């Protein structure tokens, strides 16, 4: 049994780890690696198993979403980052969050787990939020749009297109309403259309719940 909440091993070695788990008749749980306790992965591989998923897009990093929400309220990027650090949302070295590395790792996990791809975080096209200015934010709002750091996966024939970058979303888009440190993900499916899941994406309790959900999955599998 292995229940990692650390996304690094799954982002870099998912296929190797699942192969080893299968060979040794072990369960590998990793729900906590994307959106913590909010069941983003389980929704994709279990609840939507009867659908073809054509595209996935999500707000996968709470720190950058907090900063963008603060900038909408009139804060400069630097002030919003300092506030995120003061509140414990951002690390002393925030590069992993604000430059999109954290979100890219989660996009790679989604691609490998749900699409059977063989992507590494470095294969994901990546751009962070550090170039956005208050003027960019204001222009988007004036046009009825909001900036969000979006992780996106899309099938293009046999090719998988993966990216993390700031995008302007129409106010009418479900992800445009997601503010603060909240995460969200939208699955575009053939049978149900777009399905959006919104919830906490980090923190001790949500991560603990992710581990609990994996333990319950073990119980379901081995209690039969």
Q: What is the mean pLDDT of residues 149-164?
A: 92
DSSP letter for each residue of the chain: -B----HHHHHHHHHHHHHHHHHTT--B--GGGTTTTS-HHHIIIIITTTS-EEEEEEE--HHHHHHHHHHHTT--HHHHHHHHHHTTSS-SS-HHHHTSHHHHHHHHHHHHHHH-----GGGSEE--STT--HHHHHHHHHTTEEEEEEEEEEEETTEEEEEEEEEEEETTSGGGG--TTEEEEEEEETTTEEEEEEEE-SSHHHHHHHHHHHHHHHHHHH--
The catalytic residues are 106
In this predicted model, what pLDDT tens digit does every residue of 89-147 receive, in sequence order?
A: 888 999 999 999 999 999 999 999 999 999 999 999 999 999 999 999 999 999 999 99
Q: What is the pLDDT of residue 3?
A: 47
pLDDT in tens, 5-45: 678 999 999 999 999 999 998 888 898 899 988 999 999 99
Q: What is the pTM of this model?
A: 0.92
Q: State yes or no: pLDDT of 224 exceeds 70.
A: no
- What is the tens place of the pLDDT at every residue in 196-221? 999 988 777 777 887 888 788 777 77
For 157-181, what is the mean pLDDT? 94
What is the residue extent of each domain of the chain? 34-203
Tell which CATH classification among 3.20.20.70, 1.10.10.60, 3.30.2020.30, 3.30.360.10 matches the domain 34-203.
3.30.360.10
pLDDT of residue 159: 86
Per-residue model confidence (pLDDT) at position 189: 97
């Amino acid at each position: 049994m292995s229940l990692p909440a650390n996304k690094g091993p799954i982002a870099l070695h998912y296929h190797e780890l699942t192969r080893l788990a299968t060979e040794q008749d072990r369960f590998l749980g990793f729900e906590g690696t994307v959106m913590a306790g909010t069941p983003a992965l389980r929704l994709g591989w279990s609840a939507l198993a009867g659908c073809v998923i054509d595209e996935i897009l999500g707000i996968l990093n709470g720190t950058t979403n907090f900063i963008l929400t603060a900038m909408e309220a009139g804060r400069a990027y630097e002030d919003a980052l300092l506030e995120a650090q003061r509140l414990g949302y951002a690390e002393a070295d925030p590069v992993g969050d604000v430059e999109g590395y954290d979100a890219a790792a989660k996009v790679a996990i989604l691609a490998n787990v749900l699409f059977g791809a063989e992507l590494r975080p470095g294969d994901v096209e990546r751009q962070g939020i550090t170039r956005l200015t208050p003027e960019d934010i204001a222009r988007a709002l004036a046009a009825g749009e909001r900036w969000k750091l979006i992780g996106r996966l899309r099938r293009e024939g046999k090719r998988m297109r993966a990216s993390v970058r700031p995008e302007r979303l129409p106010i009418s888009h479900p992800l445009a309403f997601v503010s603060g440190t909240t995460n969200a993900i939208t699955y575009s499916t053939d049978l149900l259309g777009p399905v959006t899941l919104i919830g906490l994406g980090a923190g001790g309790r949500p991560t603990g719940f992710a581990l609990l959900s994996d333990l319950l999955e073990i119980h379901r599998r081995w209690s039969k």
